[in-house]
Structure 1
Amino acid sequence: MDASEVTNKAQQVIEHPWVKRVARLGYISNAVLHIMLGILAIAVAAGSHAEADQGGALGAIAKQPLGAVVLWICAAGAVLLGIWSVVQALLPHPRKLKRLKLAGTGVVFLLLAGAFMQFAWGGHSDSGKSTSSFSVALMQYTGGRALLVLIGLAFIGVGVYFVYRGVTRRFLKDVDASSHAGLQKTMTISGVIGYPAKGIVLAAVGLLFIVSTVQGDPKESTGVDGALKAVRSQDYGPTMLILLGAGLLAYGIFLAFRSRYDSMDS
């Protein structure tokens, strides 16, 4: 069997309807994560000292009845979507930008799967401390300060892109529920609210990277948890944080819909 035959076989496998259905479970995993993040953000706005980041969200899930089962299911879904995306990226594709996006999606979901597995096994991690330690370590190297600023700019860039997708409703290109008018409207509303909220959170993380680096205090760069708590410390911060939490909940709801109605186009 030559390379072209292998490629064709791989294409047939990942394009099989059942393979796509199983891969969609990854969006459920991401939905669960963002819904919990939204709940934690609202709790922080109310004065809670909870960790409003990935580690805090996964830890909160683990503490629930059957939490480990939920985490294992989410891990499986993230692995499946990650593998599906990576395989898609490795196959010939007419649009290089699409391949790059698929590769990035694959890596993100495989890393997310690892985090789900870690907590499902009973482990834990502090995302804020990990981010802070990474920033401090990187600052010790020549060019580390510049790299941290670039990382911050990258987060801001991705955040702006999320806001853009939400405002322009470009996310609707990824889903198809045109035969259900009411459902289509619900998905549109959740996406219009959710994408900008997600983007603002990412941009806040990037801004925290830049500010802490410029001020020479990289340990203050504590990821999503630090960014959300920085928002809370501002004028009208609790109100803004409640809105962001609600937006993250909306984004999670959109992802849940996406698990069913994503077009999964290659």
Structure 2
Amino acid sequence: MNTRSVTAQGRGQARRAANSTAMEAGARAGFVARGVIYVLVGALALQIALSGGGGKQADRGGAIGEIAEKPFGKILLWVLGIALVGMALWRLSEAVFGSVGPDGRKPTKRAMAAGRAVFYGFVAYSVLSFAAGDSGSGGGSSDQQSKDITAKALAWPGGQWIVGIAGVGVACAGLWIAGRALLRKYHKHLKLSEMSKRVRQAVDFTGVFGGTARGIVFATAGGFAVAAAVKHQPDQSKGMDDTLRSFTDTPVGPWLLVVIAVGLIAFGVFSWFNGRYRKV
């Protein structure tokens, strides 16, 4: 057997693995895990809006901490982390072989899938590290991490431009997320024919409301990064917790944060719908 046929055989095996039942199960479990994190972050943000939150963080670290405090919490974190590994591997398979749909093999689609694979790989690592006893990993403050990263970047040559461009990128990504949610672009990824009328209504409510709220949070965080670059002040940069808390400083007080928090919970529920109806 020559080298070319061995390589072709290897690619065929990799493709079959990417399209396997195990990979599908991993992707669906990943959506469920993502939903759990967003529901908890939304619930923590709601606590902050209504009662100050009692010092809790409304971010991924806060959500992981909440799970760890529950009975069998460490076991749940292991399950959550493994599910997120499944999501990362599925996104990686999309980057390598393309995703479902007529445009799934486009370079832009593959590049986005690769970026998501890296992101979910990092999230999975942080959750599993926390479950294994490294409390400074998954449970760290997103606000302090954001400030530290911004401070390091601003110290580089051209650091202000780097941070500013990154901030604009995050803000644009947030607007893109919100816009796609409002236009219901997620329809093409879901098995709509398998849904009842009520389920589809619930999917559209959580998809539009939740996706828009998530996009607003990203866009706002990007705006703070731009402000940090313009003023050359790392403290202007905010993680998810401080970004969410900033909504209480608006003229409507904490009620905007209430809306955003409920929206994040809705996005978590939408992720659970994806776990059931997503085309994988």
1:55 maps to amino acid = G
Is 1:146 equivalent to 2:175 in the alignment? Answer: no
Aligned residue for 1:9? 13
Query: In structure 1, what is the equivalent of residue 78 of structure 2?
Result: 72
Whether 1:34 and 2:38 are equivalent positions in the alignment is: yes
The corresponding residue for 1:173 is: 188
Matched, 1:120 2:124: no
Taking structure 1 as reference, are residues 167 and 5 closer, same or farther at Cα in structure 2, changes over 3 Å only?
Answer: same
Which of 239, 243, 256 is the aligned partner of 2:272? 256
User: How far apart are the structure 1 equivalents of 2:118 and 2:251?
Assistant: 37
Is residue 2:17 matched to residue 1:45? no
Contact 1:159–1:199 under 8 Å retained in 2: yes
1:95-120 Cα offsets, whole Å, 9 max, x none, are: 11221121112111111101111221
Output the aligned Cα RMSD. Answer: 1.5
CA distance in 2, matches of 1:155, 1:170: 20
Per the alignment, residue 207 of structure 1 pairs with: 223
**8 A Cα contact 2:97 2:105, kept in partner:** no
Q: Distance in 2 between matches of 1:152 and 1:171?
A: 25
Matches within 5 A, 1:41-120: 41-46=45-50, 47-48=52-53, 49-91=55-97, 94-120=105-131
Cα separation, 1, equivalents of 2:95 and 2:28? 17
Structure 2 counterpart SS, 1:65: coil
How far residue 136 of structure 1 moved from its aligned partner, in angstroms, is 0.9
Q: Which residue of 2 aligns with 1:187?
A: 203
Q: Give 5+ residue unaligned stretches, structure 2.
A: 99-103
Contact between 1:89 and 1:99, CA under 8 Å: does it hold in 2?
A: yes
The SS at the match of 1:235 is coil
* TM-score, normalised relative to structure 1: 0.94
Q: CA deviation at 1:257?
A: 1.1
CA distance in 2, matches of 1:184, 1:216: 47
> Which residue of 1 is the match for residue 101 of structure 2?
none
Q: What secondary structure, in the 3-state scheme, does the structure 1 residue paired with 2:257 have?
A: helix
Aligned length: 264
Amino acid at match of 2:108: L
Deviations 1:70-109 (A, max 9, x none): 1111100111121122133123773112211211121111
| 1:236 counterpart = 2:214 | no
Q: 2:193 aligns to what SS in structure 1?
A: coil
The answer (yes or no) to whether the contact 1:178–1:184 under 8 Å persists in 2 is no
- Which of 237, 248, 262 lines up with 1:221 in the alignment? 237
Please give the alpha-carbon distance, in whole angstroms, between the structure 2 residues aligned to 1:222 and 1:66: 32
Contact 2:18/2:90 (<8 A) preserved = yes
- Give the secondary structure class of the aligned counterpart of 1:2: helix
Q: How many Å apart are 1:7 and its aligned residue?
A: 1.4
Gaps of 5+ in 1: none
Distance in 1 between residues matched to 2:159 and 2:172, nearest whole Å: 20
In structure 1, how many angstroms separate the alpha carbons of the residues matched to 2:155 and 2:232? Answer: 11
So what's the TM-score if we normalise by structure 2? 0.89
The one-letter code of the counterpart of 2:193 is S
1:162 aligns to 2:148 (yes or no): no
Runs of 4+ in 1 over 6 A off after TM superposition: none
- Give the whole-Å Cα distance in 1 for the aligned partners of 2:28 and 2:194: 20
Amino acid paired to 2:162: L
* d(CA) in 2 for partners of 1:94, 1:70: 35
Residue by residue, what CA displacement relative to the aligned partner does 1:195-237 show, whole Å, maximum 9, x if unpaired? 0000000011101111122222212312111211111122113
Compute the displacement of 1:173 (Å): 1.4
- Choose from 15, 19, 40 the match for 2:23: 19
Verify the 8 A CA contact 1:152 1:209 in the aligned structure 2: yes
Instruction: Give the counterpart letter for 1:121 in structure 2.
Output: A
